[in-house]
Chains A and B, each alone.
Chain A
């Protein structure tokens, strides 16, 4: 049994314009001590997947079907009382924008202390000591002084580190980090990523790292999920995804980023426009933008196809290749 088991998750938003199928059949396992990266285009459902796990969706959002098991315990339909126990204690989240989850009118110290009091059985004194310890851990100097300051007196990077301190103060089993460093300078980003890895090694928690930066994935992750239009299009170990991408979207993504190898060359962008979730094509969601698309891609959606033990992708190209190879040996 894995620490977290997500099976065939479907999450939709019911809007005036219709049902927005933001997450469309997502499944994965996460074990202790592992870092799972989730990458994908803006709007592909990365954050909604995370919010579904935490059950903190907007009012119009709903988990339509599927299962999310934490340590074998079913969370879908478990009710708010159970989720209150889980959130912050067992599974913590760092949001894309730190200001949305900090209260501007409370001091940093108060917010940290309250989080610790709420989620652990420390007393007031212990909570304060723990808060200071956490600020030190995320490299905020003079933590005693900093405890008395307000969020607006912190720089963007400091607020983000403060969020990490808050998320980690309760020693969760799973940390979900939703673009935790996107707004930061690379020198600060690098420090925060290293820090997260260090703490992870120390306390053995699992991390779900949501990002659109393949550089961050390369540095941090053991396994990677690539999402497109609410579904997983490819999933595998980090090496498999980077050195043996098997979905045309992932391949396109890799070609479109500047690297040491394509200096002085034209980048090869993915053409076309991003998907409209209200008007999903019948076949492969990527087909309208895919240079390799075949007739079957437009007609029918490709199911998850196992490339090897460490790697699966939902692209007809692999099915075709396997059939050809199988045909050759048969």
Chain B
């Protein structure tokens, strides 16, 4: 990370609810993201982890205003994003690499058109690319950034391997020359050997172009490798946020502790010595989030008071945020 000077993005009390039809004309809000706040510094990589369905993708989309947030505020470069114009401007500075390299690219489009689409859509912002030759050169430059052969420009996405498709998706996200990219599970679908290539590429691009990332993934070893700080979500809420090494070596929230203890370590001696914290109890649905701390149904430390009120997301140590009523007692 370059100097950790000022936040590029500030997220304040972001909420994203979906109306779920319950039949009989009744709807119920599904609180996919519920009141999360964090900053991402310029040039930083913030990792975002948590179990399937906890709201990671939704948080990324909502932050980018691909959904209209139900509540809260996103501040980019010091300016809150409010009007349609703000959102349109923001989209040229903040983009997304989507979760599934197999389905997120249109099979009927050539690689070159897929990569250039964000330029074509935002042509008002980049009038220079009305010039066919300039557009072509930009596409080739982007392909070079992500290590794709220029001969591939005229081919279709379905002719590519998973790793190559992921590169196409990344080149496309880079097209508008953004400052910030939400990377949603960009390596999860890839084979291990290809994963390493793509992870290194994210690193290199960050150095070269000064990018800031929100890096969503469920593989904690990958996230630790690439992130400066890591945020942990549970059932739509943020439960812990700290430096990557602190999350990994010194987690404070009971859920993070369980999560880290369950990571399969690729070293037999370490793996066999590991004491896993097992979680029992029902995994609640975001449609019926329990009152109080969302983790209390599975938390080994839960007390009656945990069922009553929502713990505050508090700075427990410098730069280390945790939402747990009992954080002090259990970490003594």
Contact = CB atoms under 8 A, between A and B. Distances in A.
Interface of A: 41-42, 139, 141, 155-156, 184-191, 193-194, 212-219, 238-239, 242, 252-254, 256-260, 262-263, 266-271, 273-274
Contact of B197 (A186, A193, A239, A269): A269
B267 A267 contact: no
A215 B193 contact: no
A263 B203 CA distance: 13
A187 B259 contact: yes
B265 A218 contact: yes
A214 B191 CA distance: 12
B81 interface: no
B263 interface: yes
Contact of B191 (A188, A212, A242): A212
A186 B225 CA distance: 17
Interface string B136-170: 00000000000000000000000001000000000
B161 A274 contact: yes
Given A219-B272, A242-B268, A41 B193 contact: yes
A318 to B, nearest CB: 21
B9 interface: no
18 contacts: A155-B283, A156-B52, A185-B52, A185-B218, A187-B258, A189-B262, A194-B276, A213-B266, A215-B221, A215-B263, A215-B264, A218-B264, A218-B270, A254-B266, A266-B200, A269-B193, A270-B196, A274-B193
Contacts of A213: 264, 266
Given A215-B264, A259-B221, A141 B161 contact: no
B195 interface: yes
Number of chain B interface residues as a range: 35 or more
Nearest to B194: A269
Interface of B: 51-52, 161, 191-197, 199-200, 203, 218, 220-222, 224-225, 245, 258-259, 261-268, 270-272, 276, 278-280, 282-283
Contacts of B199: 258, 267
A257 to B, nearest CB: 6
Contact of A216 (B258, B261, B264): B264
B264 A186 contact: yes
B1 to A, nearest CB: 11
A273 B221 CA distance: 24
Contacts of B268: 218-219, 238-239, 242
Nearest to B278: A191
A242 B267 contact: yes
A141 B281 CA distance: 9
Nearest to B263: A186
A218 B267 contact: yes
A82 to B, nearest CB: 36
Contacts of A269: 193-197, 200
Among A186, A193, A217, chain B packs the most CB atoms within 10 A around the CB of A186
A263 B196 contact: no
Among A42, A214, A252, A258, chain B packs the most CB atoms within 10 A around the CB of A258
A186 B267 CA distance: 16
A212 B161 CA distance: 17
A219 B192 contact: no
Contacts of B221: 215, 257-259
A257 B276 contact: no
A212 B265 CA distance: 13
Contacts of B245: 263
B218 A219 contact: no
Nearest to B283: A155
A128 B174 CA distance: 57
Given A41-B192, A218-B271, A267-B199, 9 more contacts: A185-B218, A186-B218, A187-B258, A194-B276, A218-B265, A238-B268, A242-B268, A269-B200, A274-B193
Among B195, B199, B220, B266, chain A packs the most CB atoms within 10 A around the CB of B266
Contacts of A256: 192-193, 195-196
Contact of B266 (A186, A214, A267): A214
A254 B271 CA distance: 15
Nearest to B50: A185
A140 B265 CA distance: 26
A187 B279 contact: yes
A19 B218 CA distance: 38
Contacts of A271: 197
A252 B196 CA distance: 11
Contacts of B222: 258
A226 to B, nearest CB: 12
Nearest to A272: B193
A59 to B, nearest CB: 24
Contacts of B225: 258, 262-263, 267
Contacts of A41: 191-193
Contact of A219 (B203, B271, B279): B271
Contacts of B265: 215, 218-219, 259-260
B52 A257 contact: no
- Closest 9 pairs between A and B when the two form their complex, measured CB to CB: A215-B264, A269-B196, A258-B225, A256-B196, A190-B262, A214-B266, A270-B193, A185-B51, A267-B196
